[in-house]
Structure 1
Amino acid sequence: MNDINWLNVALGFLGGFGLFLFGMEYMGEGLQKAAGSRMKNLLGVLTNNRFLGVLVGAGVTALIQSSSATTVMVVGFVNAGLMSLKQAVGVIMGANIGTTVTAWIVSLGEWTSFLKPSVLAPICIIIGVVMTMFAKKQSAKHIGQIIFGFGALFLGLDMMSNAAKPLSGLEEIKNAFIILGKNPLLGILTGALVTAVIQSSSASVGILQALATAALVPWDSAIYIILGQNIGTCITAILSSIGASKNAKRAATVHFLFNLLGSILFAILALIGFKFVAPELGSVSIEVTHISMVHTIFNVLNTFLLFPFASVLVYLAEHIIPGNDTAEEGELQHLDERILETPTFAVENAVKEVVRMGNIAEQNAKVAVQALFDKDEKKIQEVFDREKIINQLQHGINHYLVKLSNVSLSEHEHTVITGLFHTVSDIERVGDHAENIAELAQSLIEKDLNFSKTAIDELKEITDTAIKCFELSLQAYEFGDKTIAKNALPLEESVDAMEAKLRSRHMKRLASNTCDSLAGIVFLDTVSNVERISDHASNIAQTILDENRSLTTEELNLHPIA
């Protein structure tokens, strides 16, 4: 076997691995589309029932063919406040069970000759291509994508297996696996490293199964490598948690602790078994189906054993990652790019973040008006500082909404996002008008001007009505309540009527010289800004009442797609 063409072996194996990865991802994508929001909504079963969480995690992972992807989504859910750390533990445990599905798919070829990759691959690819290209129904196209993904996965597996066959007679390769089997730590490290690099335990198990078809892998090295693979798969979630909240980091830590503790326990049991119980088994070549069995038994038993100690895992994670999150007001608190994979919740959280921005703008309007009445420089500066936060939130939310609008969404979700763009723009304008009022307060202080008691009473009435209108509009938006939205509209009309009345009264005061002309200019400018606040509040309410409103060219220019 010294005349092995290593280039052909490497190209065949790597090419097959690439095709295997593509097939696995393409099949998972098709399964997600076929299941639709029902599958994605499984992760939204936010419950303290950890057993249900295990089932949800296993089901979602079985569909998307990646425990890493499920765990990353869980980290995103925790970071965005959609899921508590305790709720996440069960889903993380279940994800490990769900990831074993791929290994069983790969094992099909050992059960009957018809299910061999070389037979199934071309059949699946032909059927998948025909359905994807010629089916008229979208659901049929999704099924075609699943079947094509199966075919690509099997073709990749067949290529890897064929590439590995020339190595079966190579003593150096066999000796390498013998060394991994005799040294548990080295075997675990190998499995962890390979999985960490390719960031998929399903894919690394597939590689091991391809090598097993060439009778290269003994039982002992296979088990230690599988245990290492379960540790290595944690790297994706750990990397994903960088820059996230402490709770999100803890979720990734729970995933790591769960797999690490389980791997240590089973490594000890395996070591005892190979040393004292069945020493002859360690050197026997493992079969593909046996790898699937070992992978499944480990994950199921690990969940069964550690499930009662979920609170302990949370306790350990909280001590490894101590302290509380201190989020800045200008940071996005409900938005996380990891949950873009679940658009239903991404849209819901976008609404939450926009409402939070609106509440900040409402607070700024109240402080600006009070600064005007009190001529308080500290409050004026507070308004200016908060306006920077509002602008920062506008930029961050619009950037997120652009990304969200480019994922697969339902027609209703597209409509909601269009409304969110409008509302963010209206809220930002409310912030601008609050800033204008603060600048008018600054002008009163600098020029030592004063309003008459009548003017102050009039301003209090119109500002109270405008801010109440804005408050109701935000409530209507938060809860999607058309009744509240309808209640906000008459207030806007009242503000319009008051503005006309106040202007008329003020002109009479100027004519009778009962009002300072410079203070009068500030008064009229304040009334104008307050009226504009109610206009934008009305726009927000109208967004709830008229959900089919489309973006204008001017508004589109405010948030171009980068």
Structure 2
Amino acid sequence: MNWSEFDFWLFLAGLGMFLFGMYHLESGLQGLAGKSFKRFLKNSTRTKFKGILSGTLVTAILQSSSLVTLLTLAFLSSGIISFQSSLGVVLGANLGTTVTAWLVASLGFKADIAGLSFPFLTIGILSYLFMENRPFLKNIGAFLVGFGLLFLGLDYMKDSIEELANHLDLASYSHFGLWVFLLIGLIITALIQSSSALIVIVLSALNANLIDIYQSTSMVIGASIGTTSTLLLASIKGTPDKKRLAWSNVIFKGIAGITTFLILEPMVDFTYNTLKISDPLMELVFLNTAINIIGIAMFFPILEPFGIYMSSKFKDVAPSKKCVYITHVTPEIVDIAFGALEKEMKHIFKLTQDFILDVLFLKDERRTGSLWLTVFGKGSDTLSKYTHLKLMEDEITEFYAQIQKQNLTENEAKLLTGYMNKIRALVDAAKNVKDIVPNIREMKNSEKKLDLDILRKLQHFTAGKLDELEEYYKIPEQQKALPYWQMEIESFYQELISYLYGQVEKKVPHGAMVSTMTNAIKKNISSLESLAVFVTEKNSMTNIFEEVTQK
């Protein structure tokens, strides 16, 4: 054939517009109702049936199975939904993506879609550019831009392929068998990372009689399998849960695709002869939907044992982490990442309090023992506890850097900065008391009354202030008491130092050096002051946190 007759650039421009349109369509919908969809997924995935239904509905609206899978992964990692429910959502998401094909087949080849796209593009672009301070209208603009580009790109692809159809005879390739078309669909989808775009290309080729219904259905099956590459590539350095979900998706689509490919000809004949669907375009989108329904029917009865089997895989690749809540949460879903950070901060705050009490030899079982015994077991030394906190700081810093790469709003950026200030305050508090471990032990082991008296005063004051500080942390409304609390700390410091110097002037015997005791007092007070910074930062962030996470 003469390839010069094929307007290659028109086809590529159409494909680019279609993909860019899908991006803006998804972006606009996320901005308009992204958190609503997240709440819907969170509350509607308690069973495998609800998971499938929710995945179908949300993907049908967002038109991005990758996005829905990412949301599902975040909820799975946070422990909000079970692994079996997440598998149901993935199955449903595969079915939800077929809506694009129905829309394109119903409208894209039945009307002047290029002329229809211009009003959407005009209104959308103006809204997107000039409504910067009106997020709702800007997101509507992004949606309209996406909608317009979607159909304008489709029109370009359709025109270029219709021209190609006049000069290309695929009959010469038919003797290779349908598996060649399946492979073509798989490879192209893996390259362009969009099964929706590939289906549009196939619909255009089918509409131009470039390929027949059997060949086009084979390509659609290949496209379904090819979409697994997105999550599979993303999971290479991911968490065990991400690997499990990615490979589960490969197994779902791989088995369903191979099965439907083996019964392809009977399926096509049944659709045409029994269901009387004579329009090739509608027949293709019906078969595309049927392929996904068959996949759901195959795995629905065995979803629980399959989930148990997959849960046993990839355990050896799980990284050893010290943090509890952020370890398996993806930073790409920002509000969930912030929720995990909030829980992590509360956990580290408790560990820091227990660390301070442990250094001061305060053995109140109500406050100490449980957390550190859980982490370390019996017989752990103080330095290992401090090292544990430092490692947690490193993990949070790395998580912070990953979140910072996302497209954050002004409030989200403020909240992220606030979390870093909080973790620094906690580590500073721990470091101050870590530095006085030898001082406290020397005072504890002293036989002199003054040494023990100073230590007891410090222990009693610190334990009481930590109790008060915990109440301030739990109840933000009590923040107004913090300035007085800090004044009491400063007052106690002056009183205890004056008491120590007064006893020394009276030549009261002491075992530890005066500098040892003053250093212990000063560092201990500095530790409490750092904790006060943490609580103040937490309380000042409460409103922003609620706005960002909508809790």
TM-score (structure 2 length as normaliser): 0.82
Separation in 2, partners of 1:292, 1:469: 68
Separation in 1, partners of 2:497, 2:44: 54
Match of 2:142 in 1: 145
Secondary structure of 1:216's match?
coil
2:408 maps to a residue whose letter is V
Indicate if the aligned counterparts of 1:476 and 1:541 stay in contact, CA closer than 8 A.
yes
Separation in 1, partners of 2:466, 2:205: 66
Separation in 1, partners of 2:271, 2:396: 65
Indicate if the aligned counterparts of 1:196 and 1:232 stay in contact, CA closer than 8 A.
yes
2:452 maps to a residue whose letter is I
What is the aligned residue count? 526
How do 1:116-135 residues align onto structure 2 when only pairs under 5 Å count? 116-133=112-129
1:98 partnered with 2:96: yes
1:459 maps to a residue whose letter is L
Separation in 1, partners of 2:256, 2:390: 49
Indicate if the aligned counterparts of 1:354 and 1:397 stay in contact, CA closer than 8 A.
no
Match of 1:23 in 2: 21
Structure 1 unmatched ranges of 5 or more: 372-376, 551-562
2:228 maps to a residue whose letter is C
Match of 1:70 in 2: 68
- Work out the percentage of aligned pairs sharing the same amino acid: 21
1:183 partnered with 2:178: yes
Separation in 2, partners of 1:492, 1:165: 77
Q: Compared with structure 1, are the counterparts of its residues 545 and 128 closer, same or farther at alpha carbon in structure 2 (3 Å cutoff)?
A: closer
2:397 maps to a residue whose letter is H
Indicate if the aligned counterparts of 2:45 and 2:89 stay in contact, CA closer than 8 A.
no
Separation in 2, partners of 1:187, 1:306: 26
Separation in 2, partners of 1:403, 1:530: 37
Match of 2:502 in 1: 508
1:159 partnered with 2:156: yes
How do 1:312-331 residues align onto structure 2 when only pairs under 5 Å count? 312-322=305-315, 325=318, 327-329=320-322
2:293 paired residue among 294, 300, 308 = 300
1:13 paired residue among 11, 14, 24 = 11
Separation in 2, partners of 1:117, 1:542: 57
1:522 partnered with 2:513: no
How far off its partner does 1:334 sit? 1.2
Q: Compared with structure 1, are the counterparts of its residues 140 and 308 closer, same or farther at alpha carbon in structure 2 (3 Å cutoff)?
A: same
CA RMSD of aligned residues (A): 3.7
Indicate if the aligned counterparts of 1:16 and 1:157 stay in contact, CA closer than 8 A.
yes
How far off its partner does 1:24 sit? 0.8
1:541 paired residue among 527, 535, 549 = 535
Match of 2:302 in 1: 309
How far off its partner does 1:20 sit? 0.7
Structure 2 unmatched ranges of 5 or more: 363-378, 545-551
Match of 2:423 in 1: 424
Separation in 2, partners of 1:193, 1:317: 27
Separation in 2, partners of 1:92, 1:309: 15
1:38 partnered with 2:74: no
Indicate if the aligned counterparts of 1:195 and 1:201 stay in contact, CA closer than 8 A.
yes
How far off its partner does 1:151 sit? 1.1
2:302 maps to a residue whose letter is F
How do 1:348-497 residues align onto structure 2 when only pairs under 5 Å count? 348-370=339-361, 379-383=381-385, 385-386=387-388, 388-400=390-402, 402-403=404-405, 406-408=407-409, 411=411, 416-438=415-437, 440=439, 444=442, 450=446, 452-463=448-459, 465-466=461-462, 469-470=465-466, 473=469, 481-482=475-476, 495-497=489-491
Match of 1:340 in 2: 332
Separation in 2, partners of 1:523, 1:549: 42
How far off its partner does 1:238 sit? 1.7
Q: More displaced, 460-469 or 522-531?
A: 460-469
Q: Compared with structure 1, are the counterparts of its residues 124 and 289 closer, same or farther at alpha carbon in structure 2 (3 Å cutoff)?
A: farther
Match of 2:368 in 1: none
Separation in 1, partners of 2:249, 2:464: 47
Separation in 2, partners of 1:151, 1:270: 34
Indicate if the aligned counterparts of 2:170 and 2:211 stay in contact, CA closer than 8 A.
no
Q: Compared with structure 1, are the counterparts of its residues 52 and 473 closer, same or farther at alpha carbon in structure 2 (3 Å cutoff)?
A: farther
Separation in 2, partners of 1:521, 1:428: 24
Secondary structure of 2:220's match?
helix
Secondary structure of 1:215's match?
coil
How far off its partner does 1:45 sit? 2.6
Secondary structure of 1:43's match?
helix
1:152 maps to a residue whose letter is L
Separation in 2, partners of 1:426, 1:110: 58
Secondary structure of 1:202's match?
helix
Separation in 1, partners of 2:284, 2:460: 70
Q: Compared with structure 1, are the counterparts of its residues 238 and 370 closer, same or farther at alpha carbon in structure 2 (3 Å cutoff)?
A: farther
Separation in 2, partners of 1:324, 1:488: 45
Separation in 1, partners of 2:515, 2:39: 56
Indicate if the aligned counterparts of 2:325 and 2:343 stay in contact, CA closer than 8 A.
no
Separation in 1, partners of 2:234, 2:340: 19
How do 1:189-208 residues align onto structure 2 when only pairs under 5 Å count? 189-208=183-202
How far off its partner does 1:323 sit? 5.5
Q: Compared with structure 1, are the counterparts of its residues 425 and 385 closer, same or farther at alpha carbon in structure 2 (3 Å cutoff)?
A: closer
Q: Compared with structure 1, are the counterparts of its residues 548 and 252 closer, same or farther at alpha carbon in structure 2 (3 Å cutoff)?
A: closer
Match of 2:374 in 1: none
Deviations, residues 454-491 of structure 1 (Å, cap 9, x unaligned) = 533542453465366457656865xx632676798876
1:188 maps to a residue whose letter is L
Separation in 1, partners of 2:515, 2:243: 55
Q: Compared with structure 1, are the counterparts of its residues 302 and 63 closer, same or farther at alpha carbon in structure 2 (3 Å cutoff)?
A: same
How far off its partner does 1:161 sit? 1.4
Match of 1:555 in 2: none
Indicate if the aligned counterparts of 1:41 and 1:344 stay in contact, CA closer than 8 A.
no
Q: Compared with structure 1, are the counterparts of its residues 235 and 452 closer, same or farther at alpha carbon in structure 2 (3 Å cutoff)?
A: farther
2:88 maps to a residue whose letter is G
Q: Compared with structure 1, are the counterparts of its residues 134 and 171 closer, same or farther at alpha carbon in structure 2 (3 Å cutoff)?
A: closer
How far off its partner does 1:74 sit? 2.4
Secondary structure of 2:320's match?
coil
Separation in 2, partners of 1:324, 1:476: 41
Q: Compared with structure 1, are the counterparts of its residues 362 and 239 closer, same or farther at alpha carbon in structure 2 (3 Å cutoff)?
A: farther
How do 1:46-65 residues align onto structure 2 when only pairs under 5 Å count? 47-65=45-63
Q: Compared with structure 1, are the counterparts of its residues 425 and 100 closer, same or farther at alpha carbon in structure 2 (3 Å cutoff)?
A: same
Q: Compared with structure 1, are the counterparts of its residues 228 and 4 closer, same or farther at alpha carbon in structure 2 (3 Å cutoff)?
A: closer
Separation in 2, partners of 1:473, 1:259: 54
Separation in 1, partners of 2:13, 2:438: 66
